[in-house]
Amino acid sequence: MRGFRIAWLALAVVAAWPASAQEVPASVALFYDALTAAPDKDVPGLLRQATAPGWMSCGGNDSCVGREEVIAAVVGRQEAVPNLRWTIREVLVAGNRVVVRGEASGTPDGGFLGVPQGIGSFKVMSIDIHTIEDGRIARSYHVEDWFRAVRQLTGQ
């Protein structure tokens, strides 16, 4: 039985591979484009195009929110950080799952994350696991290191 488990694990590991730019689903590329701030960008429209109507975004402890709540949060974050940039650093595709190691960076225009006025910019890592159904993101699990951003903004 132990040999079977090891063989199965080896097959599961081989099934995930780094994706080239051509293999990244269009909805995932569109999603990260929407997260990056730019003047006159239709962020709500891009996020609605990238995600399914019932899309759920789940953070720590399986706390999930729906599409419209996420859209409002993204728009608010871009207002607070007008040069927010979300860069895809690595992508793994396994079946209908897309894992993205990303990096968020920017300089807040004022108070951000409870920091009244930061002393500069931040750069944090994110890990997202997206499930794709019918060409759109149906569910996302994500972790961002916002505590690191607070430390960077407060100089600690």
pLDDT digits (tens, 9 = 90+) for 104-126: 998 888 777 777 776 788 899 99
Mean pLDDT of all residues belonging to the chain? 83
Residue 61 lies in a domain: yes
Residue 37 lies in a domain: yes
58 is written with which tokens?
């789940």
pLDDT in tens, 55-65: 999 987 779 99
Query: Which pLDDT value is given to residue 53?
Result: 96
Distance CA 46, CA 30 (A): 7
Other CB atoms within 10 Å distance of the CB of residue 131 = 17
Which contacts (CB < 8 Å, 24+ apart) does range 25-28 have?
A: 25/93, 25/98, 25/132, 25/135, 26/135, 27/51, 27/132, 27/135, 27/136, 27/137, 28/91, 28/98, 28/100, 28/130, 28/132, 28/137
Query: If you search the block for the tokens 């488990």, which residue do you land on?
Result: 5
Query: Which pLDDT value is given to residue 60?
Result: 76
Least confident window among 5-14, 33-42, 51-60, 88-97: 5-14
Q: Which domain holds residue 106?
A: 17-154
Smallest CA-to-CA distance from 56 within 136, 129, 139 is with: 139
Give kind and range of the element (H or E) at residue 45.
Answer: helix 43-50
Residue 1 lies in a domain: no
Per the CB < 8 A criterion, the answer to whether 37 and 81 are in contact is yes
pLDDT in tens, 75-87: 998 988 889 999 9
Residue 138 lies in a domain: yes
* pLDDT value at 54 more than 80: yes
**Which pTM was predicted?**
0.81
Count up the domains in the chain and report the number.
1
140 is written with which tokens?
């996302």
* pLDDT > 90 fraction of the chain, expressed in percent and rounded: 53
CATH number of the domain bearing residue 136 = 3.10.450.50
Residue type at 51 in one-letter notation: T
Residue 12 lies in a domain: no
Residue 142 lies in a domain: yes
